[in-house]
Amino acid sequence: MENIIRVICVLMSTVLKVESGVICKTELKPFMHPSLFSLHSQNIENVGRKIHIPTSTNCSVNVTNIITHFDFPTDSKRVGMFVFICDHHIKVSFDDLHISMIQSNLIGYVQLTKCQFDVEEMDLFLSITNSRVFTIRTGNFYSPDHQNKTASCKGFKRIVSVSLESINNDIMSSIENLFNCNDDTFNVKEILIGQCTGQINQTIIRQKFPDLQTLSLVDCNVSGTVEFPWATDVSPLPDNLSRSDYMQDHYSKSLHLNIPPNIFRRQLTLTNNEITGQHQVKMYGLLQFFKVSNNNISEIDDNLFNNVLGLQVIVITKVGLRLIGKSTFSGQNKLTYLDLRNNEITDLPSTVFNQVPSLKYITLSHNNLQNLREKLFSDLEQLLQINLENNKIAEITDGVLPVNSVTLKTLKLNNNPLVEFPVSILYIRNLRKAELKSTNISFSNLTALLEKVDASPLLRSVNPSSSSIESDVLQTTDEWRIIDLTGSRVSGFFIDDDMCCHARRVMLVILKHFKFEIKENHLTCFSDIIPFNKLMQNFTESRHWTGNEYFFSDWLCEYPKELEGKSVLSIQAEETYSQIDIFDCPTLCECYVREVYNVTIVNCRGVGLNELPNTMPSSDLDLWLENNNISKLVFRSYLCNVRQLILSHNIIEHIDHNIFRNLEKLKILKLDNNLLTHVPKSIDVLQLNTLCLKNNPFVCDCRTLWFKKWLLRNVFLIDNLREVNCISESENGHQIIYVPDYKFTCKKPTVFHHYTKPVAAATSVILIIGVITFLLVYYRLEIKVLLYVNFEWHPFDRGKLDQNEIVDLTIIHAVDTTEFVDEQLVLPLQQLGFVICSQANDFIAGYSVHENISSAVFYSKHVLLILSETMISDSILLDLTLAECQEKMKVNRANFLLVTNIAPTSRVAKLNKDLQKYIQLHQHLNCKGSLFLSKIRYILTSYQTSGSKAMMADLNHRRLLPIKDTLQYTKDHEYDLFFCYSSDERDYCQNNLIPQLERESYRICTPDSHFHPGDYLLTNIGLAVESSSHTIFVTSNHDSFDELQLFVFQKAIEKTRLKKYNHLIVILIQGKTCPPGEKDINEYFHSFVYLDTTDKHFFSRLKTSILQPNEIDVSNVNIRNGIENTSI
């Protein structure tokens, strides 16, 4: 019979060779792989070849030469790995198989990628190479349309492990063609099927593989109920083989399994199979590994694992699981690993982990857990790790964790809204690391926390041996237990001065054994840290600390600025201060008190001051006024109480001559980085400790020679004396103390000067009068502005206030001026109490640009149009703004539209004629002028005040919201938000955006967790759009959408237009702006407001655009033009 088979193969290969007429071009390369198997405790050597076939047409391969090339030894076993890789989907024929010798000492491993083959040829090849593993990765399966059953499948009969991935033909037909013999059962023990076409029919698989131990179905639809396993007996590896240590680590240990190396694992894996409930999975008998993922199983009851024995690993992820029975896992006494991550579990029964004594790993991350019941984990004394990160847990009570465990090493609670530190963590004896990253823990009341700690379990936890009299719990540990609070809200360690002895001892024990990692927190070093620092200093003096412990170097101040980067524990009381709220603290400034000296600190850094404030608190003062626009230093009565006067980085040109005579308390004066040319001689009366004068343009003339000599007398109080330079007539930039005295000269007047002075004076007076008259007319606006800025006098241009105009200024601009608008306009004007609406921050996503502009114009006193390169290039925004402003400009509001220009003058010439005419007839604001902001402020205050002024201040942080008053969003819709995204955006949506929104209590529908498998996909999409208040359309490349994305987009935009509100909201990731191909999408991106994740206000703008769940009140909203409705 074997000879007959060989003859048939010879004939077939001859025919195929004639058909193709092409010999495959092959490249043989070594295929290195660690040893997979062992025999009698000796690893079997792997000999591998990668057969690369770049030929693009059907061809034939002389496999005899390939086998010969291996040169397998005859005296010992070898694993021969044959890896065929085709660059194209072609059919490969095997030549000269009939002359190949059967390799009896060989254990074959065959893998094909994109290569098609004849089944009978492959069977003979598998037989000759004594192959046990057969893998196809990507390919079109080749077989005749009507293939008769063969008398023998000797090669395929030897196969024990099969892997079929990305087979483009019907998967069940492919399996039947491969395993096609009269004797219809095979010895396959493992079958792994992935990315298949067609549905899995387990009846056929069960008939062909009665001894199957492992069934793994990934991205394959399953018909009916999956019942597994059907083989009752454990199967050993063939030929007395065992897995090598390397292979055992991959095969068993990596999956947390503990099985002998000479048997197959008993495993069921179901991933993305359109399973819709627990009823489609039935298990019984011995099963060691069970995984179900990316399906739809919202509930599992107590019966799922009732008939299963030996389970060591259970993985149930991404199935939308919400409810678990009280005894679902009970009786699984070999279960060591349980993974329930990425589900929707909100609560767990307290008995759910009872009778699971061997459990070592529990993963419950990325669920909706809020409260953990008492004794949930307390009886699991074999646990090594608990993972509860990315939930909604706000508190962990003392009875939840297994405090008596001696095995628990790791506890993960990252990204939970925990406020109070769970003290029971400190009682777990062998815990090595507790991760509490990105929580709300702040240690704001550390005294109460320490007093809450029970000393007995704490000491039992850290004591090396309670049975030894030599144990010392106050000995600093050699192996820290890590408490990782990275990215949380720890601002410091604040204790009471009178903290009790118990709390002090508890704190000392904790810091002896636990290392608190507080990176990415914002540690503040104000006065309230001093009690903690004093206690730590006492511990150091008592020799409990050496000063080399981690907290002396790792805990660094971030605030205030002058202490930034310093060690927290090095801060002394005299360096600190605390914020206070006092009535006479200047506007825009912050006031603090330095308790040690009873000094008030007034911090006015960088707030835009043009002069010294008029009033100050009455106590001794430290004034911090750097980074402002102060040009003159004039006397104020409160300067007599000043100890520190910090005026660095201003534009001071002049100092009053007698200002220093009454500043008896002044000890630190900083005037560096200003525009001073001279310093008054009255500085000599000051009793300073520090003076800073560097980086000023001092002049070396006859009036400053005294200054040089004064500097030389006071060398030790001048900071950076070598950087105090001056300019003489002939030379620039010399250190003033090294300029010779004879160079400090002034020019003397000549005779010509005596005769010309009277004439020049009279002429100058006439010219000055003429110039003043001209300037008064030409700069009348600037004069009005200066009168208002300096004296708050506004006698001109008063207008009547329209009660509808609750926005002071709307700013229309393009993307290229967003930073300018935010920093130079929005922030300063909001700080002055004005209500500002800017296009970048306040336009509502999902509404058209036209609707947003129309609403903003209607409710604004003025509109500021900023011309830039981008604005002029795309004139749509210009035209819409001008058209909406026309109505108000016609009704005695000629200055309603304000215009400023950032673009080059040549670009302005390309504006439409209407706008050019408007700019010519009205005063143009120069954005680079020093009075630019003051002019806008003057214009915005040109209205009669009313009782609504206080109300307007409250509205400063609200936004325009065009909606219809008849809509009932949260009551009429099952979901608040329906998310649509592709695989490229899935990770960002599921791990970043959606969790943030869920923490805000939004009800969210996603295709991954809410679509019902088996239903028509378009029906699911239609229902999701109709049952959601908003559709959130997330894309990173809007020039390329698949059909489903287009369908979602069209359904959502249809609802937006029908319901007349912003149902569809588009989010663009990473700011990519390729031109879209679809007409509807192209129109949307040009006409509607969408969101960009690179926007620093992205999340706040998203929350503004979507409706707050259960908080909508539209009873007082006015409808304008029957289309939009605006509320702030």
Place of tokens 């090595």: 432
Neighbours of 697 (CB within 10 A): 14
Give 870: exposed, middle or buried? Use CB within 10 Å, 0-12, 13-18, 19+.
Answer: middle
Closest CA to 564 of 607, 529, 525, 519: 525
Q: Do 1001 and 1035 form a contact (C-beta atoms < 8 A)?
A: no
Q: What is the pTM of this model?
A: 0.61
DSSP 885: H
| Residues ≥6 apart with Cβ < 8 Å to 1106 | 976, 977, 1002, 1029, 1030, 1032, 1065
Q: Does residue 560 have a cis peptide bond before it, meaning omega lies within 30 degrees of 0?
A: yes
3-state SS, residue 1019: helix
Based on the number of CB atoms within 10 Å of its own CB, is 183 exposed (0-12), middle (13-18) or buried (19 or more)? Answer: exposed
pLDDT score, position 100:
62
- 1001-1033 tens-digit pLDDT: 888 998 877 776 555 677 788 888 888 889 998
- How far is the C-alpha of 926 from the C-alpha of 928, rounded, in Å? 5
Helix (H), strand (E), coil (C) string for 129-191 = CCEEEEEEEEECCCCCCCCCCECCCHHHHHCCEEEEEEECCEHHHHHHHHCCECCCCCCCCEE
Compute CA distances 453 → 189, 492, 505, 518, whole Å: 56, 19, 11, 21
pLDDT at 670: 96
Rg (CA), the chain: 40
Percent of the chain residues past pLDDT 70, beyond the cut: 84
Q: How far apart are the C-alpha atoms of 340 and 636, rounded to whole Å? A: 69
Cβ(315)–Cβ(292) below 8 Å: yes
Instruction: For residues 607 and 424, give the distance between their C-alpha atoms in angstroms, rounded to a whole number.
Output: 47
pLDDT, position 767: 84
Res 1077: pLDDT: 57
How far is Cα 1128 from Cα 1125, in angstroms, rounded to an integer?
10
Q: Which residues contact 98 (CB under 8 A, 6 or more apart)?
A: 6, 7, 9, 10
The secondary structure of 344-400 as a DSSP string is: ------TTTTTT-TT--EEE--SS---BPPTTSSTT-TT--EEE--SS---B--TTT
CA 91 to CA 114: how far, in whole Å? 9
Q: Report how far residue 1016's alpha carbon sits from residue 1008's, in angstroms, rounded to the nearest whole number.
A: 15
**CB-CB contact of 691 with 717 (8 Å):** yes
Q: Identify the helix (H) or strand (E) that includes residue 506.
A: helix 501-513
C-alpha 358, offset from chain centre: 37
Q: Per DSSP, what are the bridge partners of residue 810?
A: 837, 863
What is the Cα 308 distance to its own chain's centre? 42
Nearest to 1062 by CA among 1089, 1082, 1043: 1089
User: Angle 394-396-399 (CA atoms, 0-180°, nearest 5)?
Assistant: 155
Q: Which residues does the chain have with pLDDT short of 70?
A: 1-21, 98-101, 141-152, 183, 467-471, 729-732, 747-758, 775-801, 891-894, 904-914, 920-924, 943-972, 1012-1016, 1038-1040, 1070-1078, 1109-1128
Cross-strand pairs, 131: 108
CA distance 268 to 996: 35
pLDDT 10s digits, 42-68: 999 888 889 999 999 999 998 878 887
Place of tokens 């109460």: 448
